[in-house]
Amino acid sequence: MVALRGVQLFAVAPGTRPAAVNGLVNGVAVAAPLVVGLVVGEPELGALACLGAYVAAFTNKGGPRRSRTLGLCTAAVANAAAFLLGAFTSDVMVVALVLLASLVFIAAMGSAVNATAARLGTMPATAFLASSITAGKSPSGVLVAAALVLAGGLWYAAATGIFTPPPRLKQVLAAVAEPFALLGRSMSDTREPADHDRLVGAVRRAEAAAVAVATPSGDEQLAGQLTHLVGQAAALVDLLAVLDDLGPVDPVIEGPYRRSLAKIGVRVTSLGAQLERRSKVRATADDVLADVTAACDSLRSEVVNGAQPYSRLAAAARHRRLLESIARTTDDASAAVDLIDARGNAALSNPGGPRQPFLDVARLRAAMTLDSLEFRHALRVTAIAAGFYAVVAVLGLSHGEWGILAVLRVLRPQYGATVERAGQRVIGNVIGGSCAAALIATVNQPATLAIILFVIITVGFTLRPINYAFWVIFGTPLVLLIGDISDPGDWGAALARIVMTLVGSAVALAGGYLLWPNWERDRVTDVVRTAATATATYLSESLHSILSRDAGRLEQTRRTAESKLAEARAVTQRARQEPGAAAAVSAAITELDTLARVQRHLAALAALPTSSATRIPALDDFVRVMSTSLTDRDAADARTTQAALDAMFAYLDDAHRRRFDELPSSGESDTPVRMEIRENEPLIALFAVITSEVAAATAMAAREVRPS
């Protein structure tokens, strides 16, 4: 379990409900040959066809129906050919070794070879090794077995082509509804700040879903409506970030404030439910701010009468004004939902991408260098798999192919990912393998085993898209039981296979550590620096946009910064599993968390109005200095920034004095002073927060480059 530190084995991946349905289709398609074999009284033949469907299933990468089915047919032929080669060369070790090494190397190079190699992956090598079940068969028996593997693969291609539903409009609407559901949940529970990264991820997925509608044969009008609606969700996400940045709510309005925000949250949640067609009932559009407005009016009266300090009214007004913005944006989103044409289950076109050359020689040549992560991984996995095969052949180890299969499944390009996968494999073998051995020892009827296999395959493929750990648990007994259909009751062979799988996992770990390892820990500094640079560009563009807004350029720099931050987080997460990386990873995670906060504050900044920003004193100096503060900061710049902030807060103090003086006569009237405070106070407060976060980020970066 140490190898799985920080990994949530059985956490449900977001957005996997449709994938689980497709998994169910896959499971039934793979298991169906077993039922046929059982009906005709030939469970062994059914198991061979099931094996063909099984290896074909792992080449199913989705995509348009026609190209997907053709790709699966190609995989069926390739897997059957590899199976046939493995069966006929098993007694000629040198030839078999060369063939296996070639299959493994091509699989590891993947897309550098061509798209077909990337789709097939290690499945031809798996079929090559699986041909060991034909040991002792006559040449005609081997041909029959290979034909059944081919038939199983072609059946799977046909079955999934027929029964996998095409993309539906309701699936797109479900993706667009996701950010609204998360937003509503965050607004209803304000005990913790909103998970900004998760909300942004939901918005990005919703954007991708909306873009998918705008195909040449799709619906441009609907795509535009959905894009506008996703824009409202993005605005709500940014406004929620501003809300978190405001800090604690004044106790005088805290109760009404939380009730008002919860009411808005219910409205936002109902928009998501309406999009998914789970509910036709829209939450009431009453004046959700009535309570908080009444509380602020009462507080204003007390301030005028001298019973409360003006500072409390100013703080309460900041929260109320932001709630007003959130409520208005929710109204806009509600109107956008009403405009969407509800053609619930219409099929969507999904044209394939541009055709790729069968073999890109230039790309392959460029990839085949020791500087290439792909090439080093290909060399590593080929050397380990071939070496293991040679040892198995020379020593005559029983069921040695299972160890080689474990090497192919466990070895990843990064050592940290290999450690994680090895841990999952060990757990899967201990739990699933023990269950399989017990079944093999107690169930002696091939028909009964076939029925059990059908259930395991269906459940395993259904749960596989939700979390890989589920598949490990179900996949181990699956492959063990397929191999025992023809010889039920041999639990000793099952245990031997489990042992060889554990040995193969251990060999993969050792080989991944010793042979041309790709250490993510060596990349941590670079990816964190890249994320910092992208965030610096985002910071500069955000600040300059206050003076002259370029929405397109700002959005592009924001997406780049988010992407680089996500990549850096992924690298540091993998590096955590590597030896000797703890200190560097800990520092990197701290810096990335700071950069994430800076990005969240910048997203909040983009949601604020800036029409009165030109009245803020020293704004030009602040923008000029802070725009480069993440990449080029010195003591003079720090003094300039602080002087600019001091001038801004002095301006705010003067504005609040003027507002206090006019309060008895103006009341709720929207005076110029009140408008200045309403628009510029949140900006200045965010300037101060961003300055603090940037100072923390640059201090950490300075500690990293300081010589020890």
Tell me which range, 36-40, 243-247, 354-358, is most confidently predicted by mean pLDDT: 36-40
* pLDDT in the model for residue 2: 35
pLDDT at 84: 94
Q: Determine if the pTM surpasses 0.75.
A: no
The per-residue pLDDT for range 440-479, each reduced to its tens digit, is 677 777 667 767 777 777 777 777 766 666 777 776 666 6
pLDDT above 70 as % of the chain: 81
Question: With bands split at pLDDT 50, 70 and 90, how would you rate the model's confidence at 9?
Answer: very low
Taking only the tens place, the pLDDT of each residue in 262-277 is 889 888 988 888 887 6
Q: Which pLDDT tens digit goes with each residue over 120-142?
A: 888 999 999 888 878 778 889 89
Q: What is the pLDDT of residue 282?
A: 53
At residue 568, the pLDDT reads 92
pLDDT at 128: 93
Residue 348: is its pLDDT beyond 60? no
Around Cβ 16, how many Cβ atoms within 10 Å? 16
pLDDT score for 220: 63
The reported pLDDT for the residue numbered 95 is 94
pLDDT of 295 > 90? The answer is no
Q: Which residues contact 316 (CB under 8 A, 6 or more apart)?
A: 249, 250, 252, 253, 295, 296, 299
Least confident of 5-14, 105-114, 320-329, 606-615: 5-14
pLDDT of residue 307: 83
Q: Residue 76 has what pLDDT? A: 95
Phi, psi (deg, nearest 5) at residue 344? -5, -60
Q: For tokens 């991408």, what's the residue?
A: 353
What pLDDT, on the 0 to 100 scale, is given for residue 355?
A: 56
Fill in the DSSP letter of residue 347: B
Helix/strand/coil (H, E, C) string of 152-195?
A: HHHHHHHHHHHHCCCCEHHHHHHHHHHHHHHHHHHHHCCCCCCC
pLDDT digits (tens, 9 = 90+) for 498-520: 788 889 889 998 998 888 888 88
Residues 542-582 pLDDT 10s = 988 887 767 778 888 988 998 899 899 988 988 887 887 77
Provide the pLDDT for residue 341.
54
Q: In this predicted structure, which of 180-194, 360-374, 430-444 has the lowest mean pLDDT? A: 430-444
Q: What is the dihedral of CA 474, 477, 479, 480, to 10 degrees?
A: 170
Say if residues 230 and 207 touch (Cβ distance below 8 Å).
yes
Share of the chain above pLDDT 90, in %: 14
> Does the structure show a pLDDT above 80 at 655?
yes
Does the pLDDT at position 329 exceed 80?
yes
- What letter represents residue 364's amino acid? L
| Per-residue pLDDT, 516 | 84
